[in-house]
Amino acid sequence: MPLRSFLWFTASTLFGCLCLVFFLDQPLAWFSHRYLTGAGSFFLACTTLYEEAYTVLMWPIKGIPLLFSGSLIGFLLLRVGLRQQGGNVFLLLLLTHVASQISANLLKVATHRLRPEVLFEKGYTGLGFWQAGPNNDSFPSAHVAIIFSLFWPFAVVFPRYRRWLLVIPSLIGVGRLILDQHYVSDVWFSGWLVIAWAELFSAIGLTFNILHHKILPKKQAN
């Protein structure tokens, strides 16, 4: 993503999430709760399937999750061994996934936002931030951060297939709203979080490639 596009996306995310938090999150959640619950069984099935698949990916092999070891092996085999540029996607996947998951969980602890289900069952005043539990871990959505971080790196490296790659993360994101687990701003911010980390690591990788191809040959020549 070009830097200007990312900056515009960041600005729109900040403005959009603030508007949602202060004015639209709760009305949209009430609308979904009242009129879209009929789709709940479909999205629950999608979420359950995703959770089962992710459990397999995190299965430990000698103490290391399969996702982590597989990503490292894929990067070393394709990028280092076979010199294929597409192999970078596995390193980008690993870094983006870990960073997104950690930062999303830290933000949950920092914000303590009540989930929509609390609003529907008990009700609460205010915006729902910095509240006592349970169910005070709504912002941002960890489900979206995790699933999006598994697909967005491939969308970055293979932009031709971006639309298809984002179908599953989009289903999970919509499902978090339909199932009364998150507000729109929770889902939106999680998507931005993943993109931000992917852009950062992509920029670092690009800088490394420039240094490798321009500076190192000069040193070798000397």
Mean pLDDT, contiguous 10-residue spans, the chain (222 residues): 93 98 98 97 98 98 96 94 91 97 98 98 95 96 98 95 96 98 98 97 77 45 42
Tracing tokens 């099935």 back to the chain, one arrives at 45
Query: Given its phi and psi angles, is residue 110 left (phi above 0), alpha (psi -120 to 50 degrees) or beta?
Result: alpha
Tell me the residue range of the domain where 47 lies.
Answer: 3-221
Q: For residue 56, give both structure tokens.
A: 């397999």
Nearest CA to 21 out of 192, 143, 187 is that of: 187
Specify the pLDDT at position 2: 87
Domain total of the chain: 1
pTM: 0.92
Query: Using CA atoms, how far apart are residues 52 and 69, in angstroms rounded to an integer?
Result: 19
Structure confidence at residue 208 (pLDDT): 66
